[in-house]
Amino acid sequence: MTDSTRQRILDTAEQLFADQGFHATTLRQITREARANLAAVNYHHGSKDALILAVFQRRLDELNSERLARLQSVLDASDPPDLENVLGAFIYPALLLSTQSAGDGGRFMRLLMRAWAEHATQLHGTIARQYSHVMRAFADAVSRALGTSPDNLRQQLDFLIGALTYTMAETTDGQVEETARALIRFGCAGLRDSALAEVPQNSLKENIA
Amino acid sequence: MTDSTRQRILDTAEQLFADQGFHATTLRQITREARANLAAVNYHHGSKDALILAVFQRRLDELNSERLARLQSVLDASDPPDLENVLGAFIYPALLLSTQSAGDGGRFMRLLMRAWAEHATQLHGTIARQYSHVMRAFADAVSRALGTSPDNLRQQLDFLIGALTYTMAETTDGQVEETARALIRFGCAGLRDSALAEVPQNSLKENIA
DNA sequence: CTAGGATTCAAACAGTCGTTTGAAACCTTT
DNA sequence: AAAGGTTTCAAACGACTGTTTGAATCCTAG
């Protein structure tokens, strides 16, 4: 492994970004804590912005592929897929990602919130592109579980994402398991009830045109 | 009005903070756009950090008092308060706050997310202190609407806050009204269903001890 | 009208930032 | 062992940051 410093930089950068924010975190701070030279970041990653992107790429790839794998096995289990399991496939990987990185629980979730809040053009675009995939797959799965059209579903899924991100950001200990169960229950009820609110006047809008 | 510049600084600072973040926004940028001298920020607000706090204080006071006022009238309307109305009292002021500041819709919500993500000790503490008030009042109201204990309710309310903040942050146009209605419906269903999940083994934990 | 506090202003302060550079050190391959 | 590419290192670069200062200006109260 030639790039042990490359990895070390990535790890400590993720930690510091989550704890202090992107702008507040210094390259000098990162390299000092990673026992690397100041120039190492520019040498291995090109620039600070590229480093930020790299930190996200690594975790989002991991998170989303895990989500899609779980979703697939849920879809294989039963043809009208079980709604609780679909939401579990979405929520659990996020929770596991938060806990497996040792120490602070909601670190990566805080990082996600940060990235989303920073609204940096490049970063936001990258994340959205990585997510559109997954979101469409889950929207389809949820709509089939509910027996409704996937059209007005993205909004409810956004509710779920917001709730997930927000609560995970400050879930510290082993209480994450319980939080996930509560969130799944909460989200399933919301989705099922919202599905009943369809049909009224939407028929002339999308079902025909 | 002696402090027209003080107000102008507050306004443009809020806008720039929301669009670019706290660290990324320069005092020179703020003062230039507010047609004020660079030293005006330090003169009127003391420091950049104090300015950030002032920006939040102003909006949070507005938001929370509006929420509590609406909650009171909901509580006056019927003794077991209506759950939909309770949630509406929580959600609508946030949405109105987002739209009334001209132009960009979710500006202040983005600001809130930012502040929350920045996790700055002082800022986070101030916001939490401002909210604990309101959260307790709404937790009580919701628990009475549901007929359950307010103990394990904070978690579900956090779900709601997360969903509200996340979706409002990118709700741009007049679609906020519809979003609010969908969110209320979503949240009510989640809360009602979660209320059914209580009672099992909690009796020996809090009800007696 | 004028004294005196409040406000604005241009200029400079010390400090930190991300990035670049060119030489040293390391490691593999011939 | 020598060559050549990869990685580390100390040092410096220019640019930008928040804050301070002291004089100029404004505004109001006596």
pLDDT in tens, B62-111: 889 999 999 999 999 998 999 999 999 999 888 777 766 545 556 777 78
| Percentage of chain B lying above the pLDDT 90 cut | 48
Confidence of residue B54 (pLDDT cuts 50, 70, 90): very high
Q: How much helix, strand and coil, in percent to the nearest 5, is found in chain B?
A: 75, 0, 25
Q: What are the C-alpha distances in Å from B158 to residues A54, A171, B10?
A: 31, 11, 29
User: Counting Cβ atoms within 10 Å, is residue A17 exposed (0-12), middle (13-18) or buried (19+)?
Assistant: buried
| Percentage of chain A lying above the pLDDT 70 cut | 83
3-class state of residue A183 by DSSP: helix
| pLDDT(B179) > 50 | yes
Q: What is the pLDDT of residue A61?
A: 87
Confidence of residue A192 (pLDDT cuts 50, 70, 90): very high
> Among A52, A155, A164, A172, which would you mutate to test the B interface (most chain B Cβ atoms within 10 Å of its Cβ)?
A155
For residue range B16-28, what is the model confidence (pLDDT) as tens digits?
998 888 888 999 9
CA of A60 to C1' of C28 (A): 35
Q: Name all protein residues with C-beta less than 7 A from any atom of nucleic acid chain C.
A: A 25-29, 38-39, 41-42, 47-49; B 2-5, 36-40, 43-44
| Percentage of chain A lying above the pLDDT 90 cut | 48
User: Counting Cβ atoms within 10 Å, is residue B79 exposed (0-12), middle (13-18) or buried (19+)?
Assistant: exposed
B182 contact residues in A (CB cutoff 8 A): 155-156, 159, 194, 197
- Using the CB atoms, write b or e for B29-61: b if 16+ within 10 Å: ebbeebebeeebbeebbeebeebbbbbbeebbe
Q: What is the pLDDT of residue B131?
A: 82
| pLDDT(A91) > 70 | yes
Q: pTM above 0.75?
A: yes
| pLDDT(A34) > 70 | yes
Residues 23-82 of A with CB under 7 A from strand D: 36-40, 43-44
| pLDDT(B209) > 50 | no
Q: State which amino acid sits at residue A144.
A: R
Residues of B numbered 159-198 whose beta carbons fall under 8 angstroms of chain A's beta carbons: which are they? 159-167, 169, 179, 182-183, 185-194, 197
Q: How many residues does chain A have?
A: 209
A198 CB-near residues (< 8 Å, 6+ apart): A148, A149, A152
Q: Are A115 and A56 in contact (CB under 8 A)?
A: yes
